[in-house]
Structures are given as C-alpha cells and as structure tokens.
Structure 1
Amino acid sequence: MDNNTLSETSKFLSYILRHKPAAIGLQLDTEGWADINSLIIGAAKEGRILDQAIIQTVVNSSDKKRFTLSEDGQHIRAAQGHSTPDVDLQHIEKKPPEFLYHGTATRFLESILQQGLIAGSRHYVHLSQETQTAIAVGLRYGKPVVLKIESLRMYQQGFTFFRAENDVWLTRHVPNFFIYQD
C-alpha cells in the first residue's frame, strides 16, 4: 500500500470513527468500538475498499497511534478525538506533568488568548508532552504557534486530566490564564 493510499485510508477511518459513523451506516458503542466487518461493509457501500489487512496496516503504521484494535481483532476504535455524542470513552484520570503543549495556527491565537482552549465539537482539548508534536499539529491549520500550558498548576486547582492510549493528554477546558505563548 503506497503512502498516499495509507494516508487517505487513515483520514477516512478518523472521520468515520471519530465524527460520522452514520455516514456509512456504522454504529459505535459508548466506548467508541466498531465492528470491523460492519465497517468494511459500510465503507464498500460508499466506494471505499477496506479489508482486515488494510485496516491492520493503517493501525500499525499510524505514528500517532490513532486507532486501537480489540484483543480479538474484531473491533476498532479511534483512541481519542470523538465528536459524536454516542461515544463517551472512559479515560483514567492522571496527574499531568508541569507543562503540556498545544499546537494551533496563528490565526486562532487572539481568540484562544481571550477565551482559553475549549473542546469545541470534540469532547476534550488535546495536549502533548512535546513541543515537536504541538508544532506538527499547528502546521495542519496554517502557520504554527505552540502554547505552553501550566497543566500541573491546573491539576492542583481541581482540573481533571486524562492520558489517552496514544499518549495524548486530554482536559475539558484550559482557561486563558494557564496559557503562555512559548
């Protein structure tokens, strides 16, 4: 499978498993799991050719570990980033490091510095432990800027943090007074 096909398939799976499973008639459970056979059948109705081997290749090659396969290999889910109201992944609360980072584009900076980071259509704000990851995220939206988050201080003041299976840190909201431009 060439890199372009791999990338397009990964984007398709992200869209379906995070945001619009109904677009192909797919049902997710509350933990975000989808039956792989139903995913393959639904994708085929939309002209997308998937099989177990292609799905396995996408899961294994995802540098960000976006997807998780069940132990029996019959189900798949996105690790985080859901916007569908049917999914409510139960992440384990964790104490964050002193600082976490959020990558965004400069065009969003003024709004963020005024109202903080909000989850928007997603369930959580996504944060990373490395500035390089934050830069890569910001590049997807334009000229990148990295925001430094005082995550440990937030935690000490009662904010809840979770760490997803793929090492992305999650929280519901980051007030602007915990945010600094790095």
Structure 2
Amino acid sequence: MEAQRVSKFLSLVLRHKPDTLGITLNEQGWTDVDILLATLNQRGYRITREQLAYLVETNNKKRFAFSQDERQIRANQGHSVEVDLGYIEKQPPQFLYHGTATRFLELIRAEGLKKMNRHHVHLSADEQTAFTVGSRHGKPIILTIKAGEMAATGYIFYQSENGVWLTDAVPATYIIVENR
C-alpha cells in the first residue's frame, strides 16, 4: 500500500466523488468501512483495516475520522458533495490565515475569499500551515484574516476535528495582505 496514493484517492472519494467507487455517504458524510475496504480492494487498492486505521491516525492533515465504533469513516472537511458534518459555532482567535497562490491575489482583493465548490472557506490558525497550503497552488502568499473582527460583526466560524477553521466567506475588508 502506498499511503500517499491511497490517502489522495480517499480524499477524492470521501470528499468529492463517492460514485467513483460506487459507495454512498450518509447525510453526515459517513460510509461503511467494510464496504469501502471491499470496494477499494476490488479496484486494486490493496488495503487492510489495520492499514486504513494507520492511515487515518498518521495523516498529517487529519483528513479522515472513524465513527466511535470504527464501523464508519468520513472526511473531516473539504466536501464538495452535500453533507452536514454537525459543526458547532466557535469563537475564532483574533487572526487566522489563508494560504493561496499570488496569481489569485487580484481577484481576492476585489471579491474576498469565497468557498467556491466547497462548503466553506478554509483558514489556518498558524502561518506555516497557510504557507504549506498556498504552496500547493503556485507561488504562495499568506493572507491574514481579521477573524475576531468578522465574528464581532456576525460572521460565523466553525472548527473541524482536525483544527481547520471554516466560514462561509471572507469579505476583502477583513483581509490583510502583507509582503513577506
């Protein structure tokens, strides 16, 4: 089992295209582990329950979670398919960060951050994580988000199980662009 390859495929299936494997996600994004493993193995992804558990435990982004009885699995956030992950509103810190590529900066300055094809805009509690995320899309830039100010004016924030901060949108007025 090549862990990175399986992790990327699981992200695709559990966040965006469950039909790729012919599985279904329930309203909260869960799917049956036994069915997932059987289907993965039929498609050439040779993975055992123990290997799947190791992948969930050691994924540096904590993308996946098991249900309490470990019979079901889901992605923690980032879905483009309709699911209700049961997030609870949470007060954010004064500042959060968003990593993106410099080529998107002009549009962001004009329109702010939008969730696009996902359920939420993803924000990080630290600059290093934002930098890593931004690096995946080209020359990175870190945007500082005035999250405390946003929350004070009525914007709602959530925090996923893996620590990612989520909100519906970030207007340009709450974004600080610094040249680093």
Instruction: Kindly state the Cα deviation for residue 45 of structure 1 after the two structures are TM-superposed.
Output: 3.4
Runs of 4+ in 1 over 6 A off after TM superposition: none
Match of 2:58 in 1: 61
CA root-mean-square deviation: 1.0
Contact preservation (8 Å) 1:24, 1:45: no
2:176 to 164, 177, 180: 180
What is the rounded CA distance, in whole Å, between the counterparts of 1:46 and 1:179 in structure 2? 44
Match of 1:129 in 2: 125
After superposition, where does 1:97-136 map in structure 2 within 5 Å? Answer: 97-136=93-132
1:78 to 34, 52, 75: 75
Instruction: Kindly state the Cα deviation for residue 51 of structure 1 after the two structures are TM-superposed.
Output: 2.0
Match of 2:137 in 1: 141
Residue type of the partner of 2:143?
L
What is the rounded CA distance, in whole Å, between the counterparts of 1:134 and 1:68 in structure 2? 22
Contact preservation (8 Å) 1:163, 1:169: yes
Instruction: Kindly state the Cα deviation for residue 42 of structure 1 after the two structures are TM-superposed.
Output: 2.1
What is the rounded CA distance, in whole Å, between the counterparts of 1:160 and 1:54 in structure 2? 37
Unmatched segments (≥5 aa) in structure 1: none
Percent identical pairs in the alignment equals 47
After superposition, where does 1:35-46 map in structure 2 within 5 Å? Answer: 35-46=32-43
Residue type of the partner of 1:19?
H
The TM-score with structure 2 as length reference comes to 0.95
Unmatched segments (≥5 aa) in structure 2: none
Match of 1:9 in 2: 6
The TM-score with structure 1 as length reference comes to 0.94
Equivalenced residue count is 178
